[in-house]
Amino acid sequence: MIASHSAHPAEAGVVIVGGGNMGLALAAGFAATGALAVTVVDPSPERARAKLPAGVAVTLIDSPAGIAGQPGMIVLAVKPALVPRVLAGYRSLIDAGALVVSIAAGVGHDAIRSRLGPQARVIRAMPNTPALVRQGMTVLHGGPGLAEADRQSAERLFQAVGATAWVDREELIDAATAVSGSGPAYVFAFAEHLAAAGAAAGLPAALAAELARATLVGAVALMNQPGAEARALKRMVCSPGGTTEAGLSVLEGQPGLAELLEGTVRAARERAAALSRG
């Protein structure tokens, strides 16, 4: 018989399977709420502990056999290829009512439920690396059979490390992965190449890197102002016939940044879809 689950699953404790960068970022953020018992299962708990901020109240163990009690939620934070293998170790906890949240790119509801049975309650989530500084963006999609309490619990949990949004079709998780999941790498690449271009223009390399970093941080702060819109902010920087307009004529020429980013997102989305097909 399937055990009944708590009104809000996370309140019964959270187990994170996988102590990689994202798993540990989530663990630290979840634990910082002070309201959750957080356990991380990783084959090398000492290595994982060394990556956590000092004083974070997270229990680290090396196998599911060490889990104390019945958790309300299990977060799968392992590489996609490992998901089928690790699920077997958590089957009894899931059968007893634990909500499953998977952050593995390309591993769909059907693939997870085929291993666990139709009674499994599964949410797919795609956070990103700014969760490390509690400025993440997590996109979620709920599978069949979820209670509203399940959705609320997952949303509250991921809001501990940033903002959240839901999509109503599972395939949109792949598109979200391509934009917000992979997006920080695109921003870092832009910073890297802007700094390199500054050095090529004659700036000392260290100064060029500092200017690129500070410019991105300041620009993002402007975008975070109430009512801010990227197109309007871009126009605000431009003067007719000025330097910014000259630079943008190259950046947004044909083909330019728009076509490059469209192709970038398409490639990442297609890769996520391919992973889901196995």
- Residue 151, C-beta contacts closer than 8 angstroms, at least 6 positions apart: 123, 140, 142, 166
Contact 77/103 with Cβ under 8 angstroms? Answer: yes
User: Residues marked as binding?
Assistant: 77-80
Give the Cα separation of 20 and 23 in Å (integer): 5
Residues belonging to the binding site for NADP(+) are 77-80
For 39, phi then psi, to 5°, come to -120, 135
Q: How many CB atoms lie within 10 A of CB 234?
A: 13
Distance CA 205, CA 134 (A): 30
Q: 204 CB contacts (<8 Å, ≥6 apart)?
A: none
On the question of a cis peptide bond just before residue 130, with omega within 30 degrees of 0, the verdict is: no
Tokens encoding 234: 């871009």
d(CA 214, CA 195): 11
Number of neighbouring beta carbons within 10 Å of residue 135: 14
